Structure 1
Amino acid sequence: MAHEHHDHGISADADRRWLSLALALLLGFMTAEVAVGLLSGSLALLSDAAHMTTDAAAIVLALIAIRLAARPAQGSYTFGLQRAEILSAHVNGVSLLLLAAYFTYEGIRRLITPPEVEGALVFVTALVGIAVNLAATWCIRQADRSSLNVEGAYQHILNDLYAFIATAVAGAVVWLTGWSRADAIAALVVAALMVKAGWALVTASGRIFLEAAPEHLDPETMGTALAAVPGVLEVHDLHVWQITSARAVVSAHVLVEESADCHAVRVGVSDILHQRYAIEHSTLQVDHADQPAAEPHCAEPHGRVYRSAE
């Protein structure tokens, strides 16, 4: 049996300084927005403030997850706490979906019975919100967005920017025409953006929790390619999954010809995984075939069995 070992430590997923600066911007403006939303009676502003709360929470969770994920593997946590970032992304996604449900309900209720809204106040506040979110978005863009955790925080901020644009339009409509239902419509637009971002985070993190192969990797194609390596007779128990975002791993049982050099074949398989599929970590069990290749080597191989075409 042969194994390929790699360092399990990871580098920082994002620049903490940029994330912290974005957090400070959001917290400062969010406090002011809640006050203005209550004074003006604007659901759109309050929904934006709630969205910004999840933005701030997303950044806080991202900062915590970065610190946890950087801890070395020890004890029963043999991969360390690298999946803390995925848990963070999942929580952020669920929170967005729950908030979307609430603001959809409130938006529909206010469409039926619209309250009085101070359009000018909403418009001015939304313009300031656009500027703050542009600055926060720029800050997070400076961080490493290869992490699903950081990308989740970025998507929160970006969607909030779109929401403020919708709120500014609604505030202008209410201010200039007096049609207060525009505020409720803007809140529904915000809810729709929350659903889009939240669903994307939940599905992406869910794939990792369920040990699915990364979307850009096809296990069928990979298995066929590995079986075509010179000296390989069969590949089975091929598993492709992600420990965390942007870190895919592979394990497989490889059977080789009786006359083949197990070490040389393992190197060939590892080279294919690294060069063609950018897999940095693989665990390979390599054995000489002790029975006809037409029969499975293991009693119950998991998944498809890939055999050499020769």
Structure 2
Amino acid sequence: MGHGHGHSAENDRRRLSIALGVTLVTAVVGAGGAALAGSLALLADLGHLLTDAAALAAALVASVLAARPGTPRRTYGFGRVEVLVAGVNALALVVVVAWVAVEGVRRLVEPAEVPGMPLLVVGVLGLIGNAVSLVVLAGGDRANMNMRGAMLHVLGDALGSVGVVVAAVVLLATGWPYADTVASLAIVALILPRAVGLLREVGHVLLEGAPRGIDVAEVRTALCAVPGVADIHDLHVWAINDRSPSVSAHLVVDPVVARPGCGDGSVLDRAADVLRERFGLAHSTLQVEHHAHSHHEDHCR
């Protein structure tokens, strides 16, 4: 069954390509400014930009792979590549902000002299580039974990550029030597929780956790309420990626009440309708059986 993601995926790839080009140009400008000014905030911003470029490139490749159909060896296709890339991107961002935090603490003890004007110019140019990338990516699929991971990187850079501009203004106005360092630590405080949150979400998907917004207990109750269903076991709700929830279950039916086979009014079709209409679980695999059959199975724990 098609779910209409083709056009959305094509738009996402186009947006990722544009954002990657803008990020690479911004990174070149940032590298020159960091070398000229010796600014930690600019180095932090450059680190974000370089990881952004890698993240956007990886997200683009993952989007292409996710569109490939399944094979006899990979029956689910490559949809989970997007989840893996989102996890790698979030982990890379955690590493970058950890390095910036350590260097920032060191500079609080030994402040470095940073010229304000180069800091301001590069910060403004970086902010313009990041703003363009954010606008481009903002129109993509918000339900796509891969796109959210890419946007998180670019958002980190945009916040970094704001911090650079603020630090430059403070340096030019007051000469306070800690402005650059404080700005870099503020960037760390803003980005780290978001990166860790994305890592937790990735781990949840990889551990076959139930998708957000779906209460498995409610799913069980709804299936048990289907006329003819006497019991349910081996109920599993998971997702290949954050846009493809699936469910499987064994329905123990009452042979007196349940209508055999499939079609309108059957236990199988009623249960599938409940899953689709109430929980958005369009992909369901349901086994209908009698009580005696369950004793011959090796149940999942």
Give the TM-score of the pair, scaled to structure 2: 0.93
Partner of 2:9: 13
How far 1:56 sits from its partner (Å)?
Answer: 1.4
- For residues 237-262 of structure 1, the C-alpha deviation after alignment (integer angstroms, 9 at most, x for no partner) is 00000111111000000011112124
Matched, 1:51 2:48: yes
Distance 1:114 1:298 in 2: 72
Greater mean alpha carbon deviation, residues 82-91 or residues 194-203: 194-203
Alpha-carbon offset, residue 289 of structure 1: 2.8
Quote the offset at 1:64 in angstroms. Answer: 0.2
- The whole-number CA distance in structure 2 between the counterparts of 1:197 and 1:48 is 17
Q: Which has the higher contact order (CA 8 A, sep 6+)?
A: 1
Q: How many Å apart are 1:282 and its aligned residue?
A: 0.6
Map 1:156-305; keep pairs closer than 5 Å. Answer: 156-259=153-256, 260-262=258-260, 263=262, 264-290=266-292, 301-302=299-300
In the aligned structure 1, how far is the partner of 2:81 from the partner of 2:10?
A: 14
- 1:101 matches 2:88: no
Q: Is the 8 A contact 1:13 1:147 kept in 2?
A: no
Q: What displacement does 1:142 show?
A: 2.3
Partner of 1:128: 125
The alignment partner of 1:290 has SS state of helix
CA distance in 1, matches of 2:106, 2:10: 41
Is residue 2:33 matched to residue 1:31?
Answer: no
| Cα 1:14–1:245 shift into 2, 3 Å | farther
Gaps of 5+ in 2: none
Q: 26, 37, 40: which is aligned to 1:40? A: 37
**Is residue 81 from structure 1 mapped to residue 50 from structure 2 by the alignment?**
no
- After superposition, the C-alpha distances for 1:132-190 in whole angstroms (9 at most, x for unaligned) are 11111011112223210011111211222122111211111112111121101111112
User: d(CA) in 2 for partners of 1:227 and 1:42?
Assistant: 63
- Aligned-pair identity in percent equals 38
Q: Report the Cα distance in structure 1 between the residues aligned to 2:70 and 2:15, rounded to whole angstroms.
A: 27
Higher helix share: 2
> What is the identity, as a one-letter code, of the residue corresponding to 2:80?
R
CA RMSD of aligned residues (A): 1.8
Moved over 3 A (4+): 6-10, 296-303
Residue ranges of structure 1 left out of the alignment (5+ in a row): 1-5, 304-310
The count of aligned residue pairs is 294
